[in-house]
């Protein structure tokens, strides 16, 4: 989501005549796009601002803070970091050029925490996208769920779904420009609920999201991924849509957060373990193997050893392809911040490590199963580790490296897996094979 926001900000700026500086040192304006989902991410920005200030002493650039930290902290950022000139909230991205002008004109504290303008400008120019082959397409922003630990509803505001025709038009344009893969993104993509269903008449489905998936699949875009899915709103019709359309990739990210009903209730996730497992079962029973990934928080206030054991059991049962594990971090202003953060740092670390160990073990088995099999890989570029290797993602969203040359970048190739590593696969390219087999 932050990468997509940065692309959008860069587009607004290039439209206004600015261009990206070759190096940070040469920039007249430095803008930090920030995350506040955990305390550590939030602290990082102040360290970075200090760094820029010290090496640019005497020739300081204009400094702006945009994104979630900007929205939440507002004008207090100016007191906390006096070298900051601009604070740009999460819905003010489109007004960046005007804000920079105000700051350049001498305004000392330029602040915009306002709502979006009536007509959003979602346009992102090709040159500002992070990749020439993979594009992020936001379909919904904000969040109405108010899980008790989470800051997102406060930093991103209420859920707003983009119009169907706008999304479909953007995907078609990306397809025509040569993009091979799109990621439909949002805090909870499957809560997609546009004001009008116009444009989805031809596509049947139980929820607007599964209909949108079918409409996007019909554009002929080669590979379509989507993230994140909210368990409570995960209708199994999404799986049906994936079974019908080969270009809906075989990967679902379904954050469970905890394996204990008691903790899930305290988190106000709106689902029980049994509800979650039913959805997982539908995913596992699909006509082709669909990779499953998740997010888990350890050490939520009140989490006992038994609750944690429940989470371990759930992870064992779900056999995730990968999992992001986080230690609970108190976010000021959230309902959970009023509870005592009673799981000690040492306990959180111990639970984190135990869960990580279990997940690594499970992952080893899942990855080893790929050895000898073929996967379809979108080649994204040279591997950072070896100039002889190319790297990309499989349709099941695993990092795959293989011997190859730069001309392959942007192509979808078949790779036979020879070796499984902890978080990636290594293989050899297969020529003359069909593009679309699992
Ligand atoms: N909308 C998505 C998640 C968005 S935030 C969902 O509901 O699944 C990304 C992840 O950050 C969450 O899934 C959660 O695991 C983690 N997270 C959010 N708030 C957190 C907090 N206060 N402490 C630790 N992890 C947190
Ligand atoms: Fe946060 Fe819950 Fe919304 Fe996800 S669904 S962004 S965890 S409040």
For the chain, domains (ranges, CATH) are 2-112 (3.40.50.12160), 126-368 (3.80.30.20), 374-430 (2.40.50.140)
Q: How many residues does the chain have?
A: 438
Distance of CA 132 to the CA centre of its chain: 18
Report helix, strand or coil for 297.
strand
**What pLDDT sits at residue 23?**
87
**What pLDDT sits at residue 437?**
46
Ligand 2 atom 1, closest CA:
150
**Is the C-beta atom of 146 inside 6 A of ligand 2?**
yes
**What pLDDT sits at residue 42?**
80
**What pLDDT sits at residue 433?**
56
**What pLDDT sits at residue 438?**
44
Sequence-distant (6+) residues with CB within 8 A of 211 are: 197, 200, 203, 204, 205
Residue of 177, 166, 196 whose CA lies nearest to 131: 177
For the CA of 254, the nearest ligand: 1
**Is the C-beta atom of 38 inside 6 A of ligand 2?**
no
**What pLDDT sits at residue 434?**
56
**What pLDDT sits at residue 435?**
52
Structure tokens of 171?
């995907």
Residue of 89, 255, 85 whose CA lies nearest to 157: 89
Distance CA 425, CA 85 (A): 45
- Return the H-helix or E-strand segment holding 380: strand 374-382
What residue ranges of the chain have pLDDT lower than 70?
432-438
Note the pTM of the prediction, 2 decimals.
0.95
Residue of 263, 251, 255 whose CA lies nearest to 366: 251
Structure tokens of 408?
């392959």
**Is the C-beta atom of 359 inside 6 A of ligand 2?**
no
Inter-residue contact 31 to 24 (CB < 8 Å): no
| C-alpha 427 to ligand 1 mean position (Å) | 33
Distance of CA 255 to the CA centre of its chain: 12
Q: For every residue of 244-258, which 3-state class applies, written as one string?
A: HCCCECCEEECCCEC
Distance CA 287, CA 309 (A): 32
Ligand 1: lining residues by beta carbon, under 6 Å: 37-38, 149-150, 152, 187-188, 228, 230, 255, 257, 295, 297, 326, 328-329, 331
């Amino acid at each position: 989501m932050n990468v997509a926001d940065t692309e959008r900000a860069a587009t607004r700026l290039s439209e206004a005549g600015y261009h990206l500086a070759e190096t940070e040192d040469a920039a007249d304006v430095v803008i930090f796009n920030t995350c506040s989902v955990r305390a550590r991410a939030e602290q990082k920005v102040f360290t970075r601002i200090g760094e820029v200030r010290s090496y640019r002493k005497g020739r300081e650039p204009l400094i702006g803070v945009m994104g979630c930290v900007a929205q939440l902290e507002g004008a207090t950022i100016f007191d906390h970091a006096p070298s900051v000139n601009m604070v740009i909230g999460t819905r003010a991205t489109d007004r960046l050029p005007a804000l920079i002008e105000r700051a350049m004109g001498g305004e000392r504290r330029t602040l915009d925490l306002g709502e979006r303008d009536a007509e959003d400008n979602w346009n992102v120019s090709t040159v500002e996208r992070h990749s020439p082959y993979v594009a992020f397409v936001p379909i919904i922003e904000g969040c109405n769920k108010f899980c008790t630990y989470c800051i997102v509803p406060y930093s991103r505001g209420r859920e707003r779904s983009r119009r169907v025709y706008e999304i479909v038009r953007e995907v078609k344009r990306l397809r025509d420009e040569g993009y091979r893969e799109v990621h439909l993104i949002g805090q909870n993509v499957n809560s997609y609920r546009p004001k009008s269903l116009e444009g989805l008449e031809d596509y049947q489905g139980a929820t607007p999201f599964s209909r949108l998936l079918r409409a996007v699949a019909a554009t002929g875009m080669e590979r379509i991924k989507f993230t994140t899915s909210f368990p409570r709103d995960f209708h199994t019709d999404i799986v049906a849509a994936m079974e019908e359309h080969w270009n809906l990739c075989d990967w679902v990210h379904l954050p469970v957060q905890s394996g204990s009903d008691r903790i899930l209730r305290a988190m106000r996730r709106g689902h029980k373990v049994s509800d979650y497992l039913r959805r997982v079962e539908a995913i596992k029973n699909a006509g082709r193997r669909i990779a499953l990934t998740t997010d888990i928080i350890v050490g939520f206030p009140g989490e006992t050893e038994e609750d944690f054991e429940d989470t371990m059991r759930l992870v064992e049962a779900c056999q995730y392809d990968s999992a992001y594990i986080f230690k609970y971090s108190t976010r000021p202003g959230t309902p959970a911040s009023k509870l005592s953060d009673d799981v000690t740092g040492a306990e959180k670390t111990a639970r984190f490590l135990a869960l990580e160990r279990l997940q690594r073990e499970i992952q080893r088995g899942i990855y080893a199963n790929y050895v000898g099999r073929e996967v379809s890989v979108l080649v994204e570029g040279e591997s950072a580790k070896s100039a002889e290797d190319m790297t990309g993602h499989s349709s099941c969203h695993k990092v795959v490296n293989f011997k190859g040359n730069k001309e392959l970048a942007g192509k979808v190739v078949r790779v036979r897996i020879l070796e499984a590593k902890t978080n990636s696969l290594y293989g050899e390219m297969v020529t003359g094979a069909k593009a679309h087999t699992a």
